[in-house]
Amino acid sequence: MPAPRPAARWPGPPPVAGHDDGLAAEVARIHLLLKGEPTPDGPADASTLRRIATGFGLTAFERDVLVASVAGELGLLDRPATFAWCLDALPGGHWDALAADRPLRAARLVELGEGPLPHAPLRADERILHELRGVGRLDERLRPYLVELPPPPTVLPASRRRAARQLCAAWQAGRRPLRVCGPDHADRVDVLAAACATVGRAGHRVTATDLPRAVTDRDAFARLWNREVVLADPVLVVELTGDEPPEASAAVAQLMARLVGDVVVCTPRAVALDGVTPGPTVDRPTRAEQRALWRKLLPGRAEAAAALLAREFDLGHREILDSATPAVPGPTVDPVGLARGLVRERVRRDLDGLAERIDVRAGWDDLVLPAAALAQLRQLTAAAAGRTLLAEQGFAGRTGRGLGVAALFAGPSGTGKTLAAEVVAGVLGLDLHRVDLATVVSKWIGETEKQLRRIFDAAERGGTVLLFDEADALFGRRSEVRDSHDRYANIEVSYLLQRMEQYRGVAVLTTNMRTAIDPAFLRRLRVVVPFGHPGPAERAGLWRRAFPPAIATTDLDLPRLAALDLTGGDIHTVALRAALVAAGEGDPVGMRHVLDAVAAEYAKHDRPADPGLWS
- Give the per-residue pLDDT at 123: 93
Q: If DSSP codes are grouped into helix, strand and coil, which group holds residue 405?
A: strand
Cα 582 from Cα 201, distance rounded (Å) = 76
- Give the per-residue pLDDT at 15: 34
DSSP string over 535-571: -HHHHHHHHHTTS-TTS-B-S--HHHHHTS---HHHH
Average pLDDT value for residue range 310-326: 83
- Residue 474, pLDDT > 90, answer no
Residue type, 432: L
| Residue 42: pLDDT band with limits 50, 70, 90 | low
- Residue 9, pLDDT > 90, answer no
For residue 467, give the H/E element and its range. strand 464-468
> Residue 9: which region, alpha, beta or left (left: phi > 0; alpha: psi -120 to 50)?
beta
CA angle 412, 417, 423 (to 5 degrees): 165
Same fold, 147-281 and 364-530: yes
Average pLDDT value for residue range 339-361: 83
- Give the per-residue pLDDT at 54: 93
Count how many residues are written for the chain: 615
- Residue 14, pLDDT > 50, answer no
Averaged pLDDT score across all residues of the chain: 83
- Residue 601, pLDDT > 60, answer yes
- Give the per-residue pLDDT at 17: 34
CATH assignment, 364-530: 3.40.50.300
Cα 199 from Cα 438, distance rounded (Å) = 50
Lowest mean pLDDT among 79-83, 176-180, 585-589, 607-611: 607-611
- Residue 236, pLDDT > 90, answer yes
* Closest to 583 in 3D by CA, of 573, 574, 593, 591: 593
Half-sphere CA count of 393, side-chain side, radius 13 A: 7
- Give the per-residue pLDDT at 232: 93
Cα 92 from Cα 89, distance rounded (Å) = 10
Residue % of the chain over a pLDDT of 90: 30
- Residue 201, pLDDT > 50, answer yes
- Residue 43, pLDDT > 80, answer no
| Residue 336: pLDDT band with limits 50, 70, 90 | confident
| Residue 59: pLDDT band with limits 50, 70, 90 | very high
How distant is the alpha carbon of residue 461 from its chain centre? 12
- Residue 485, pLDDT > 60, answer no
- Residue 217, pLDDT > 80, answer yes
> Residue 476: which region, alpha, beta or left (left: phi > 0; alpha: psi -120 to 50)?
beta
CA angle 560, 566, 570 (to 5 degrees): 120
For residue 203, give the H/E element and its range. strand 203-207
- Residue 46, pLDDT > 90, answer no
Provide φ and ψ at 206, rounded to 5°: -140, 140
- Residue 280, pLDDT > 90, answer yes
Cα 567 from Cα 599, distance rounded (Å) = 14
| Residue 302: pLDDT band with limits 50, 70, 90 | confident
Burial 466-504 (b: 16+ CB within 10 A, else e): bbbbebbebbbebeeeeeeeeebebebbeebbebbeebb
- Give the per-residue pLDDT at 611: 56
Residues 6+ apart with CB under 8 A from 358: 422, 432, 433, 434, 467
- Residue 401, pLDDT > 70, answer no
Domain range list for the chain: 23-132, 147-281, 287-351, 364-530, 536-614
The per-residue pLDDT for range 96-151, each reduced to its tens digit, is 998 999 999 999 999 999 989 889 999 999 999 999 888 888 999 999 999 999 99
> Which residue pairs, CB below 8 angstroms and at least 24 apart, start in 129-138?
129/70, 129/73, 131/48, 131/52, 131/231, 132/23, 132/46, 132/48, 132/49, 132/52, 132/70, 133/23, 134/48, 136/231, 136/232, 138/202, 138/204, 138/228, 138/232, 138/234
Cα 356 from Cα 435, distance rounded (Å) = 6
Could you count the other beta carbons within 10 Å of the beta carbon of residue 271?
A: 13
- Residue 221, pLDDT > 90, answer yes
- Residue 332, pLDDT > 60, answer no
- Residue 6, pLDDT > 70, answer no
Pairwise pLDDT comparison (303 vs 145), residue with the higher score: 145
Average pLDDT value for residue range 191-216: 93
Instruction: Give 469's DSSP letter.
Output: T
Cα 362 from Cα 424, distance rounded (Å) = 9
| Residue 610: pLDDT band with limits 50, 70, 90 | low
Alpha helices in 90-209 (DSSP H): 103-106, 126-132, 158-172, 185-199
Average pLDDT value for residue range 316-343: 73
Provide φ and ψ at 469, rounded to 5°: -75, 145
Q: Which CATH class is domain 147-281?
A: alpha beta
Nearest 10 degrees: Cα torsion 458, 462, 463, 466: 60
- Give domain 536-614's CATH number out of 1.10.8.60, 1.10.10.10, 1.20.140.10, 3.40.50.300: 1.10.8.60
- Give domain 23-132's CATH number out of 1.10.10, 3.30.60, 1.20.1070, 3.30.420: 1.10.10
How distant is the alpha carbon of residue 6 from its chain centre? 34
Provide φ and ψ at 254, rounded to 5°: -70, -35
| Residue 16: pLDDT band with limits 50, 70, 90 | very low
- Give the per-residue pLDDT at 144: 93
Asked if 477 and 516 touch (Cβ cutoff 8 Å), the reply is yes
Pairwise pLDDT comparison (485 vs 132), residue with the higher score: 132
- Give the per-residue pLDDT at 181: 94
The per-residue pLDDT for range 531-571, each reduced to its tens digit, is 888 888 888 888 888 888 888 888 888 888 888 888 888 88
- Give the per-residue pLDDT at 127: 94
